[in-house]
């Protein structure tokens, strides 16, 4: 699941700018989605402990995409199809086909959290 709200597509493109939105906006719902089988999420920013616990419990992964890079990310989206809630416009649920989509593993299935480990590594050096 990629947390984003795309801009309108230009002629000949499947989607407009498609940068990530803040993942914590979904934290209220994410544990249930993960428990129901969601295997991966893409967004930006930290996640709640409840989400991290659900990630570990279910072997899920949380990836981060670079904020502000929506135009570049959209070039990696080959197709976009609204599959639910078309009436929500940019917040509709879409099925995306992507290739070489540049994301970083932030929280892995064992609960390792790059946001925390990176801070610890930085603090050791200063």
Q: What is the pLDDT of residue 97?
A: 97
Residue 120's pLDDT is what?
81
Residue 79 Ramachandran class (φ > 0 left, ψ -120 to 50 alpha, else beta): beta
Q: Which domains does the chain have, with CATH numbers?
A: 23-125 (3.20.130.10)
Q: What is the pLDDT of residues 68-106, one digit of tens each?
A: 999 999 999 999 999 999 999 889 999 999 999 999 999
Tell me the two tokens of residue 83.
């599959």
What is the predicted pLDDT for the residue at 119? Answer: 80
CA 57 to chain centre: 19
pLDDT for position 62: 98
Q: What is the pLDDT of residue 16?
A: 96
Confidence band of 118 (pLDDT split at 50, 70, 90): confident
- pTM above the 0.85 mark? yes
| Closest of 102, 85, 75, 65 to residue 16, by C-alpha | 75
Per-residue pLDDT at 122 exceeds 80: no
30-68: pLDDT as tens digits: 999 999 999 999 999 999 999 999 999 999 999 999 989
């Amino acid at each position: 699941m990629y947390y984003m709200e795309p801009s309108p597509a230009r002629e000949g493109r499947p989607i407009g700018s498609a940068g990530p939105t803040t993942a914590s906006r979904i934290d209220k719902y994410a544990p249930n989605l993960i428990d129901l089988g969601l295997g991966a999420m893409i967004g930006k920013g930290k996640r709640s402990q409840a989400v991290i616990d659900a990630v570990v419990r279910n072997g899920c992964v949380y990836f981060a995409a670079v904020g502000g890079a929506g135009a570049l990310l959209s070039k990696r989206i080959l197709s976009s199809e609204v599959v639910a809630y078309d009436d929500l416009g940019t917040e509709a649920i879409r099925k995306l086909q992507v290739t070489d989509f540049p994301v970083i593993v932030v929280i892995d299935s064992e609960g390792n959290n790059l946001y925390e480990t990176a801070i610890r590594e930085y603090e050791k050096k200063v």
